[in-house]
Every structure is written in C-alpha cells, then in structure tokens.
Amino acid sequence: MTTTTLRRVLTNALMVAVLVSISTACNKEDPTTAVITVQDADGYPVAGAYVRLFANPAVPLADPNRLRQEAMTGANGKAEFDYSGFYEQGQAGFAVLDILTFKDTMYAEGIIKILEEETNEETLVMEEIPQ
C-alpha cells in the first residue's frame, strides 16, 4: 500500500467517524406531554377545574408519587402536563396514569396512556356527584 493510498483511507475513515458522531449528537428528544380536556355534560369546556394525573400501580416497584402532577384547566377547559423530564431516550414504554378532575359538585375520572415523545390527549366529561 502506498503512502497516498494510506492517507486517503485514513482521511475517509476520519470523515466517516466525524459524520457518525455529529449525526447521533443531533438526535434531540421531543417533548412528552399530556393534555387533558374537561367538558360538562353539554360538551362545553369547564374552566377552573382541578385535574390530577397520578400512578396507581397494583404492585408499586418504585415511588408512584413521582409521576403525580396537578393543574387547573384554563378558559379552554384544557390542562397541560409535561413529562419530558421523566422520560429517558431508549426507554421502552412510559406510563399509564389515572386522571381525576372535579369542580364544585361535578367530577370525572379516567386513564391516559402516556407515549414517549408525543402529545397525549384525553377528554373527560364531568358528571354531578351522586348524593
């Protein structure tokens, strides 16, 4: 092998190594969020409703309170939650969380599956609390 050929091979190998390291470093993580829409029985948004997302595992393997978040709905009846800090890239699956919302004498319950690096949405319809 001549010196020129060796130099060309080493230069190409260095260029490939640089390109691979740059392309993997640019893999940015997308946000992992949950948007809960709260409506009344007539389909109108409920502003000012309390919304809580929480884990309720049958057999807790870790602290289930770490995923608990609370918010109030805005004028559009939506509450937004950001779980980006809890997700690690390469992790398989994320969480299934319970939802509880109430305002005055109305409430609703549900569940939401949080998929990593996506905006996950769920709509709950409030009902009157039975007496």
Q: Using CA atoms, how far apart are residues 64 and 77, in angstroms rounded to an integer?
A: 27
Mean pLDDT of the chain: 84
**pTM score:** 0.73
pLDDT digits (tens, 9 = 90+) for 73-111: 999 999 999 998 876 665 556 788 999 999 999 999 999
Write down the pLDDT at residue 27: 57
CATH for 33-128, options being 2.60.40.1120, 2.40.37.10, 3.30.110.40, 3.50.50.60:
2.60.40.1120
Could you tell me the maximum CA-CA distance found in the chain, to the nearest angstrom? 91
For residue 29, pLDDT beyond 80: no
Write down the pLDDT at residue 64: 65
**DSSP structural state of residue 45:** B
Strands 119-125 and 33-39: parallel
What tokens appear for 67 in the block?
């995923």
Partner residues linked to 45 by β-bridges:
39
Write down the pLDDT at residue 99: 97
> What is the domain partition of the chain in residue ranges?
33-128
The structure tokens 């809580």 sit at 52
